[in-house]
C-alpha cells in the first residue's frame, strides 16, 4: 500500500524514500523520520518487532499487539450501510441507523459480554436514516433521514411516539439537554426547525432560518 504523509511544510514523504528535503535542522528531522519509516516497513512483519525507542515502549507495544482483540468488538445486525450512531448520555446504550431503515438499540455491556442482539424500534423509516439522538433522560430516541421526517421512539417499549415532517431530507437532529420535549432538526430544505412536543406539530414549530 502506498501512503503519503505530510510531515512539515514543504516536506512530503511518499512510499519509503521519495521526499523533498531542506537543509539544517528540518533536514535532520526529516531524514531521521524517513529512516524510522524504512526500519518499520522492513521489520513490521515480524511479530516480535517493536520500535527501539525505550524498553518500556517496547514492552507496551508487545502487550498491545498480543491483546489487540480485547479492544475490538464487531457488532452485526444491519443489512446495509450504517450512516448514524449515537451513545446515550451515560454511555451504556448505543443507537444505530442506516440504509436498512431500521433504528437499533444496543446495550453495550450485554453485547460485549454476551453477544446479545440489539432491540429494534417498531417505527421504521421509508428511506435511509442519516441522524440520531437521545433525550437527556434516555427515555426517547429521535431518528431522521432521507424520508423527510423525524420519528420519535419510546426507548423502553420501542413504540413510535410521534412524527415531525420536513419538506426534504433531514441531516441533523438535536434534543435540548435542559428540556426533553424540545428538539431541533435541520434538512435539505434549508430550514432549521425547533419543535415543542407538548404542542401540536403546527403550533409547536418554530423556524430559525430558511428559504423564502
Q: What digits encode the pLDDT tens for the residues 131-177?
A: 999 999 999 999 999 999 999 999 999 999 999 988 899 999 999 99
pLDDT attached to residue 74? 80
pLDDT attached to residue 203? 54
Q: Given strand 82-87, what is the order of strands in its sheet?
A: 82-87, 93-98, 103-107, 119-120
pLDDT attached to residue 1? 47
Contact partners, residue 140, CB within 8 Å, separation at least 6: 134, 152, 153, 154, 155, 161, 175, 180
Q: Of the ranges 22-31, 81-90, 111-120, 171-180, which one carries the lowest mean pLDDT score?
A: 22-31
CB 194 within 8 A of CB 206: yes
pLDDT attached to residue 198? 84
Tens of pLDDT, residues 9-39 = 333 333 344 444 444 555 565 555 555 555 5
Q: Hey, is 131 helix, strand or coil?
A: strand
The arrangement of secondary structure in 82-209, i.e. its CATH architecture, is: 7 Propeller (2.130)
Question: In whole angstroms, what is the distance from residue 149 CA to residue 195 CA?
Answer: 13
Question: Which of 143, 137, 170, 139 lies closest to 157, judged by CA?
Answer: 139
**Where in the chain are all domains bearing CATH 2.130.10.10?**
82-209
pLDDT attached to residue 114? 77
CB 145 within 8 A of CB 188: no
* pLDDT value at 73 more than 70: yes
pLDDT attached to residue 157? 95
Question: In whole angstroms, what is the distance from residue 147 CA to residue 74 CA?
Answer: 29
| pTM beyond 0.85 | no
pLDDT band at 77 (very low <50, low <70, confident <90, very high): confident
Amino acid at each position: 500500500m502506498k501512503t503519503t504523509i505530510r510531515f512539515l511544510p514543504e516536506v512530503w514523504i511518499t512510499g519509503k524514500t521519495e521526499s523533498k528535503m531542506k537543509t539544517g535542522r528540518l533536514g535532520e528531522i526529516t531524514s531521521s523520520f524517513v529512516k524510522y519509516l524504512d526500519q518499520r516497513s522492513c521489520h513490521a512483519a515480524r511479530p516480535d518487532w517493536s520500535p527501539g525507542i525505550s524498553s518500556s515502549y517496547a514492552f507496551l507495544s508487545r502487550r498491545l499487539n498480543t491483546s489487540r482483540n480485547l479492544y475490538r468488538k464487531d457488532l452485526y445486525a444491519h443489512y446495509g450501510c450504517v450512516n448514524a450512531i449515537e451513545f446515550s448520555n451515560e454511555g451504556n446504550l448505543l443507537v444505530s441507523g442506516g440504509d436498512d431503515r431500521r433504528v437499533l438499540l444496543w446495550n453495550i455491556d450485554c453485547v460485549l459480554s454476551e453477544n446479545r442482539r440489539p432491540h429494534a424500534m417498531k417505527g421504521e423509516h421509508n428511506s435511509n436514516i442519516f441522524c440520531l439522538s437521545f433525550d437527556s433522560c434516555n427515555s426517547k430516541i429521535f431518528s431522521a433521514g432521507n424520508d423527510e421526517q423525524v420519528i420519535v421512539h419510546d426507548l423502553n417499549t420501542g413504540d413510535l411516539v410521534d412524527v415531525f415532517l420536513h419538506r426534504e431530507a433531514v441531516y441533523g437532529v438535536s434534543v435540548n439537554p435542559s428540556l426533553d420535549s424540545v428538539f431541533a432538526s435541520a434538512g435539505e430544505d434549508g430550514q432549521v426547525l425547533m419543535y415543542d412536543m407538548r404542542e401540536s406539530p403546527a403550533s409547536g414549530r418554530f423556524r430559525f432560518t430558511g428559504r423564502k
